[in-house]
Amino acid sequence: MVGYAFMGAAHSQGWRTVGRVFDLPLRPVLSAVCGRDGGAVRAAADRLGWAAAETDWRALIARDDVDLVDICTPGDSHAEIAVAALEAGKHVLCEKPLANTVEEAEAMAEAAERARARGQMAMVGFNYRRVPALALARRMVAEGRLGTLRHVRLTYLQDWLVDPEFPLTWRLRKDRAGSGALGDLGAHIVDLAQYLVGEPVAGVSALIETFVRERPLVDEAAGASGGLTAAGGTRRGTVTVDDAAVFTARFPSGALASFEATRFAAGRKNALRVELNGSDGSLAFDLERLNELSFHDHTEPAASSGFRRILVTEPDHPYLDAWWPPGHGLGYEHSFVHQARDLLHAIATGTPPEPSFADGLSVQRVLAAAEESAAKNSVYTTIPA
């Protein structure tokens, strides 16, 4: 694994746990974790359960005891590491968003396609697909329980940037992160929309905004370019990504969608919400109640119909036959266990995993179209097939 911070810890939890829960065709062995700071990465290896530590991802890829490379770094290094790992004969799991640009994502998807011909698998880490309630929602849509889809609404709201004195970390620099709330949070809800609907977004009309344009510098951002000012003795740097993005979209089938992603919604910590409305019913999901799905069957008599709660803990619900008795809920961390399980099965059976690098590229194109639309004052921007 390359990277050991928040996502590295979450992925490590998935790899450590998956073989203790599921019957697997392959057993994951946590061979080595990589980071630039030797002392910190060795401490992370001990804490997270990795057998060895490396300070150069090229050395990690060259190891004979590494068959799969898990990329948990900022977006600016995804393409280089992933392409090199695939060319070295490794399977690859790469965190979302797939890349910082469409061009990088295209190169990664092409490398993954070449690698698949050699039996290597590449998957993007859109972990929310692995929440059982959302996997159940996908099943119900595919079974036609909602009829013809009309509306898709997705929001992803956080508040960790409300304080204007929060420092200028890598997530606020376009050269490192690619974009702000659009890529960090918007990538998740774009992928979920396309997954749930079963179609790619055809075009978007967007607005994006940066509310706080300068922030205090920290060591990692000391080399950030542009717009340094002095305020109260604190060196400040320019925020080069969006703080919030709002956009509407259309699917090829005619369904309409709305998306909102922000890190400025005071009081919202990790509020991901989804609603789908169709001719025969509706589904709604709230990540803060992630073991529940709300379903309205519009074919029932109006006098007795309405939204009802589905408690997604039954053994015939997605993933749950391996877990606890009905009514005993799961949490955020379990989505990474399910992600590891699905990838291991794909590698063992030679079945291309989902979401693929091609799926990641599709999301990247939507993000780029949203930025282009916003730059053109919300002009509707079509997305190439």
Give residue-wise pLDDT tens across range 96-113.
Answer: 999 999 999 999 999 999
Query: Per-domain residue ranges for the chain?
Result: 6-128, 129-330+357-375
Using only the alpha carbons of the chain, give its radius of gyration.
21
What pLDDT does 224 receive? 47
- DSSP designation for 2: B
Report residue 306's pLDDT band, with 50, 70 and 90 as the boundaries: very high
Q: Which two tokens stand for residue 333?
A: 């961390």
Q: What is the CATH number of domain 6-128?
A: 3.40.50.720
What pLDDT does 45 receive? 98
Query: In 86-169, which ranges are E strands?
Result: 91-95, 122-125, 149-157
Report residue 234's pLDDT band, with 50, 70 and 90 as the boundaries: confident
CA distances to 1, 97, 202 from 79, rounded to whole Å, are 15, 11, 25
Q: Is the peptide bond before 353 cis (omega within 30 degrees of 0)?
A: no
Q: Does the fold of domain 129-330+357-375 match that of domain 6-128?
A: no
- DSSP designation for 66: -
Per-residue model confidence as pLDDT tens digits over 261-303: 999 999 999 999 999 999 999 999 999 999 999 999 999 999 9
Q: Is the peptide bond before 355 cis (omega within 30 degrees of 0)?
A: yes
How much is the pTM? 0.95
What pLDDT does 220 receive? 54
Q: How far apart are CA 310 and CA 319, in angstroms?
A: 16
Question: Phi-psi bin for 155: left (phi > 0), alpha (psi -120 to 50), beta?
Answer: beta
**Residue type at 376?**
K
Q: What is the CATH number of domain 129-330+357-375?
A: 3.30.360.10
Share of the chain above pLDDT 90, in %: 95
For the segment 126-140, the average pLDDT, to the nearest whole number, is: 98
User: What would the DSSP string read from start to end of 78-144?
Assistant: HHHHHHHHHHTT-EEEEESSS-SSHHHHHHHHHHHHHHHTTT--EEEE-GGGGSHHHHHHHHHHHTT
Q: Which two tokens stand for residue 129?
A: 């697909």
Instruction: Quote the mean pLDDT of the chain.
Output: 96
